[in-house]
Amino acid sequence: MNILERFTESWRKYRKPGYYEEFDYHWAMTIDLDRCTGCEACVTACQAENNLPIVGEKEIAKGREVQWIRIERYWEGEYPDVKLRFIPMLCQHCDAAPCETVCPVSATYHNQDGLNTQIYNRCIGTRACAVYCPYEVRYFNFTDHHWDSPLEQQLNPDVTVREKGVMEKCTFCIQRIRQAKDHAKDDGRRRVRDGEVQPACVQSCPANALVFGDRKDPESQVAKSMNDPRAYRVLEELNTDPSVVYLKKVVAKDDHAS
Amino acid sequence: MQAETNNLRYADVNRDVVRSIVETGPRYYVALATAGSVTLLCFFFPWFYQLYFGIGAAGMNHPGVWGTYLASFIFWIGLSHSGTLLSCVLHLTNSSWRKAMYRSAEAMTLFSLLVAATFVFVHVGRPWFIHWSLPYPNQMELWPNFRSPLLFDVMAIATYLTGSSIFIYMGSIPDFAAVRDRTAGWRNTMYTLLSLGWRGTDKEWHRLHWAYTFLAVLIIPLAVSVHSIVSWDFAMSLVPALHQTIFAPYFVVGAIYSGTAGIVTVMFVLRKYMNFEQYITKVHFDNLGKLLLLLSLIWSYINAVELFTGWYSGTSTEYEALKFKMFGYYSWLYWEMILFCAAAPLLCIFKRFRTSFVPMLILSIAVNIGMYTERFLIVGTSLSRQYLPDAWGVYVPSLVELSIILGSFALFTTMFLVFVKIVPSVSIYEVKETMDTPTVTSNTEPLAPPEGSPA
């Protein structure tokens, strides 16, 4: 191998890290809609874990609330035969994410764990990612937020408090994933075990509707439940390849799908 | 044109144009002071407040994260289109009627682009970091994302701004020299520098003409690409009403359309208040009226195609978005746009309408109001109705936004007012080319030199 080939080889390695072909971990989540009761415990847990701002009544009326995971409600049918359906909606961590291509400064990108990450420090606030996201799960900090004393005492020290002008969204509790990976490394460079890491929403779900884990491990709970015959992904026709899989038997009715 | 400028002599052209620069009436100062203070009060103060408070000062929300700032950005980019583009096309096709109006049209391009670029700063959440979207070498080895249409946009606008500034500057060199030879004092020094030692030799004229044609050829595809790229900011998304292949031609046509209307407005004002009645004539309004008519027809066609493809796609999201656009919360804006941009310009079929100045002025303003609405609708209605009905919502601009829109027009006017006192707003040498060669005996009465010229 001559020097030029060696150079191009190492350059390619540098420019194209291993995870371009294969992720180290491939974090994924399944949400069993038959188990979900819509209790919003996940919403609250996320609020507490990730230092989500409390924007107040006025801002919510303007449509500026920040909820990394939200329960979407859909009514079906006419009174008195009404059905309420709901679906927790969070960042789908798409493997072909439209938001990643549009950010001019690469503030949002795909990391080696298959996560769609958001770098607050790099964000310049074009808000293009929020427009490009078909799931509408990106939230913008329209103003600086403050926590009335003593609420600021309960802020999670592992998570940034975002300033005005940056975009934010669900991270699959990346701080917990980092911690679990560090433990695993200290523990003799093993891989993170299944169930060792749980995002706040998964942890708090009383019905165990949410399952989180590494999709690359075929024995993991999440990989198994992803093979459930009820599995479907929201807006799959857009080819965003989401990492969040919903479990619900979807039947086509005469005129509209339920 | 020829028939109407027949009674002018070459010296008259010089005198009139130099007069427009050196003789400044109180009306001009009043206009400048008004425009300047409105800019400060309505553009910069609200903007500074927004910088301090956050984008929350505007009315944006989820899902309407893009608002009037982006609409204004597209509008000003669009307005910039006709100037240089039209001037280039007409230069290459040897249309002599271009010569009296192209300088102000090109200036319009330049200043609209500057206002548009300012709107990028107004729009983003953290404008103090906007240089991160430029590919400059840095110690962190961080580069912008070259896949992003927003980055293409930054590149395209920077290129267009550079190209059109060079184009307008190069075309003005002989005129700077002409003014240099007729002024004294600080003006003389300034024009000496600006004219780059122009002497008017054959070689210089030859090179100027060559370079000018070269740039004209270069700028046409550039102008088309700029607005195509602006459209990709939208068309490359997955948003139902935005994800359309027609968007690039739609934006280009829309840009040239609003730009042409803008030229009509500016020419009316120049003609009326800068005393260019003999240079900007009915011929120009007639020709621009024909152009407006053609563009409005193309524009209407594209709108019809948009509706047809939305309906034909058969997807519920696409259908819902179009239904919302036509009959939803913003429907009155949609029909206002149709009235101003598709119906009203049909009046240009009549020659009598095209050659009357005030109706043309009203039409041109109406077209631009309609085109602003179009841009607002593209941003506003499309984001309101996306895939998940739970995330549907409407966006209403706040007072800060409305004030900044108003202020942006004042900003544009201020820059234009400064421009007409520095650069000859009618091309001296090219107007002369369109005139008959004067005879020696034509007129012998002495000409009054303009005020401020050397004795």
How close B411 gets to chain A, by Cα (Å)?
Answer: 23
Q: What is the pLDDT of residue B215?
A: 87
Q: Is A227 on the interface with B (CB under 8 A)?
A: no
Residue B330: inside a domain:
yes
CA distance A81 to B263: 61
How close A152 gets to chain B, by Cα (Å)?
Answer: 21
Q: What is the pLDDT of residue B241?
A: 86
Express each pLDDT in B219-274 by its tens digit.
Answer: 888 888 888 999 999 999 999 888 888 999 999 999 889 888 988 888 888 788 76
Nearest to A33 by CA among A226, A231, A200, A223: A231
CA distance A62 to B56: 10
B87 with B102: CB under 8 angstroms?
A: yes
Q: Which of B64, B144, B233 sits opposite A105 (nearest CB)?
A: B144
How close B105 gets to chain A, by Cα (Å)?
Answer: 31
Q: Which of B55, B236, B386 sits opposite A125 (nearest CB)?
A: B55
The number of beta carbons lying within 10 Å of the beta carbon of residue A110 is 18
Query: How many contacts does A have with B, using Cβ atoms within 8 A?
Result: 143
Rounded to the nearest 10°, the torsion over CA A217, A219, A220, A223 is 80
- Number of structural domains found in chain B: 1
- DSSP-based three-state secondary structure for A170: coil
Question: Is B3's pLDDT higher than 50?
Answer: no
Q: Is A101 on the interface with B (CB under 8 A)?
A: yes
Beta-ladder partners of A212: A29
B81 with B382: CB under 8 angstroms?
A: no
CA B381 to chain CA centroid, nearest Å: 25
Which of B86-100, B135-149, B219-233, B306-320 is the least confident region? Answer: B86-100
Rounded to the nearest 10°, the torsion over CA A160, A163, A168, A173 is 10
B164 with B110: CB under 8 angstroms?
A: yes
Q: Is B62 on the interface with A (CB under 8 A)?
A: yes
How close A104 gets to chain B, by Cα (Å)?
Answer: 5
Cα B236 to Cα A37, A64, B230, B378, distances in angstroms: 37, 25, 10, 14
Cβ-Cβ contacts under 8 Å for B203 (sequence gap 6 or more): none
pTM: 0.88
Q: Which of A101, A136, A139 sits opposite B148 (nearest CB)?
A: A101
Q: Is A129 on the interface with B (CB under 8 A)?
A: no
Q: Which of A72, A104, A125 sits opposite B388 (nearest CB)?
A: A72
Question: Is A7's pLDDT higher than 70?
Answer: yes
Rounded to the nearest 10°, the torsion over CA A222, A223, A224, A226 is 80
Q: Which of B66, B149, B388 sits opposite A127 (nearest CB)?
A: B66
Best residue in B47, B52, B61 for a mutation probing chain A (most A CBs within 10 Å): B61
CA distance B354 to B347: 8
CA distance A235 to B315: 13
Q: Is A185 on the interface with B (CB under 8 A)?
A: no
A34 with A247: CB under 8 angstroms?
A: yes
Express each pLDDT in A195-211 by its tens digit.
Answer: 899 999 999 999 999 99
Nearest to A129 by CA among A144, A143, A145, A140: A140
Express each pLDDT in B160-216 by its tens digit.
Answer: 999 888 988 988 888 888 888 888 788 888 888 888 988 888 888 899 889 988 888
How close A126 gets to chain B, by Cα (Å)?
Answer: 5
> Exposure of B94 by Cβ count < 10 A (0-12 exposed, 13-18 middle, 19+ buried)?
exposed
Q: Which of B60, B63, B148 sits opposite A103 (nearest CB)?
A: B148
Task: Give exposure, B428-452, as e/b (b: 16+ Cβ within 10 Å).
Answer: bbbbbeebeeeeeeeeeeeeeebeb
> Exposure of A231 by Cβ count < 10 A (0-12 exposed, 13-18 middle, 19+ buried)?
middle
- DSSP-based three-state secondary structure for B215: helix
Nearest to B148 by CA among A59, A183, A122, A176: A122
> Which residues of B28-143 form beta strands (DSSP E)?
none
Question: Is B455's pLDDT higher than 50?
Answer: no
- DSSP-based three-state secondary structure for B353: helix
Cα B88 to Cα B58, B94, B172, B215, B283, distances in angstroms: 38, 10, 15, 8, 19
Element (H, E) at A29: strand A27-32
Question: Is B442's pLDDT higher than 60?
Answer: no
Nearest to B289 by CA among B216, B224, B362: B362
CB contact under 8 A, A101 and B63: no
Name the residue in chain A with its Cα closest to that of B237. Answer: A132
Annotated domain spans of chain A: 26-247
Confidence bin at A51 (pLDDT 50/70/90) = very high
Task: For CA atoms B418, B420, B421, B423, give the dihedral sign.
Answer: positive
Residue B39: inside a domain:
no
CA B266 to chain CA centroid, nearest Å: 10
Express each pLDDT in B305-362 by its tens digit.
Answer: 988 988 888 888 888 888 899 998 999 999 999 999 999 999 989 988 888 889 999 9
Domain CATH number, residue B185: 1.20.1630.10
Task: Pick A37 or B443 by higher pLDDT.
Answer: A37
Fold of A26-247: Alpha-Beta Plaits (3.30.70)
What interface predicted TM-score (ipTM) does this complex get? 0.86
Q: What is the average pLDDT across B436-449?
A: 55
Structure token digits, residue B328? 């939803």
CB contact under 8 A, A140 and B150: no
Residue B300: inside a domain:
yes
Host domain of residue B308: 2-24+60-132+145-396+421-434
Residue B450: inside a domain:
no
Nearest to B419 by CA among B180, B119, B167, B103: B103
Residue B163: inside a domain:
yes
Q: What is the pLDDT of residue A35?
A: 92
Confidence bin at B432 (pLDDT 50/70/90) = confident
